[in-house]
Structure 1
Amino acid sequence: MNSFIPEEKENPIVTLKAQAEKFGFSRLRADKNNESANTGEQMYKDFQRMDFVINGKSISGDLTAKLCKEYNSLLPKSEDENYRPFAKEVFKEMFKYAEAKVPSDSILEELVTNCNQAGYEAGVFIESQLALGQHSFLVLSPKRVMNIDYIDQNNVSIRSDMKLPIFFQRSDGKAGDKVCDLSSSIEFTLESQDGKEGVIYKDGKLSLTVPKRLKDYNIGDKNLFDVIKECFQKFCERLGFFKIKIEHGLDKPPKVNSHLENMEPPIHSNEHGNTPGN
């Protein structure tokens, strides 16, 4: 690296990667007792909250709104009824729009339950909230893109990309200055079982990209980079990902708070009784 390049034009990053042929997919799925996910209501709400890309083709918000309106007649008449028929039809139309075939019914059922903020979108977000919240940081309003690729009727690959904005937590519990963005990606394949109910999760991959400069921000006897790395490692272990690879590189101009290295750690969250917000 050229030492004459001004520091502000460099943004060294570290990408943590892990993978497993088979893994504990239950950590990715919505809780079995999550009524909103089980009835399809969560998917109904998230169709227009999330960005979808199917077989490389972006599904616009306008198209999603149009599809939701088109199948409005399938919506339940009360909050206690079933949203699943509606959600399945919207997914089918999204695949058709992307000029992809529609996968098996068991895969569609799995997508309706888990391809939302209660399922695949929740794991990394919740884990990072819990870990960083202990040190008075907030993770707020992540940007999400759900990529779905049709392989064949019994197999689809999923990649959930998420950008997690990290903020200092002020003494009043609200968000202060932005620290940086973390970029996460989780990939896996869904495989239906020849007409049997349920699906198999396999070929899992997980990555988290972190600005290297976070090593310069100390929290007690650790630094912020190490705290995030430990969070990643624990999440990997829960999923059954044990081989972690570390890659170094350069990103676009830095998005790390320029005052990070000169600031004292903020007041610990348990000193004012607040927990991270959503």
Structure 2
Amino acid sequence: MLSDVIDILADPVDGTALMLSEDGSRIVSDSGHSYDIARQGYVTLAGGAGLRYSGDDASMIDAREAFLSRGHFAPFVEAVSAAVNTVLDEAGVPVDAQAAIVEIGAGTGYYLSHALDDVENSIGVGLDVSVAAAKRLAHCHPRAGAVVADAWSHLPFRDNSVDIIVVAFAPRNAAEFARILKPGGEVVVLTADQGHLRELREPLGIIDVEKGKVARLIEQAAGHLEPVGEGQLLEFPMDLDQASIAAQIKMSPSARHIHPDVLHTRIEALPETMTVTARAVLTRFKPVS
């Protein structure tokens, strides 16, 4: 709930502290700005320029929920949760502390909710530019709050307020991540690697992950974040039926580039069940000293 995470949030306009209004319907800042809490439980914290784009629509969020709920990406979420625990252990965060975990581009809150289950007493914020996503995020976990904001802009969190940032196949804002992390805090990034979903690329007409994506990620973060050790390659087979394949494509950017009728025809031409490769790299980052 937003009440659980209000202490780490900040006014997106001027960075001042936020608090709940007496009736619980709004979030107000020390400087007098006010942000209504939607009836679904999320709040939009965007600066004066507002949101530049709307993100995933409801159909894409539905597809993501359909795919992830079947456990196809379970090894990914297990690796992310393990990394979150390792970071907290190495930072010396006490077991009874209220560790703050933020997922950027959180979608349905799949990775966030699993991390919160894994870390006792933790609190979390799922941040996404999509309102459709925020409606799900608001109910993804009892200790999670949902915020609509632009990951590329000034993030609505206080300086040095967050223990872990999780980014799974989502945008990265190295300068802002470095600002909001506590000392000892880290970013756990899951990045698709070349060969991810390779069995589907040709028959469905979707492009492969670009070569050297992780290296570019590290280069782009330079000056703000630096990698902690080597990245961890995660690769495993998934047995996908046609419904799962359709959900996987519809939850991705490819959904915007393939007409639904064309996608349906191409999927119907596939075998009823296929073994498809999942491949990504998990990288930990810490702020540059």
Larger radius of gyration: 1
More strand by percentage = 1
Q: More relative contact order in 1 or in 2 (CA 8 Å, sep 6+)? A: 1
Q: TM-score, normalised by structure 2?
A: 0.27
Q: TM-score, normalised by structure 1?
A: 0.27
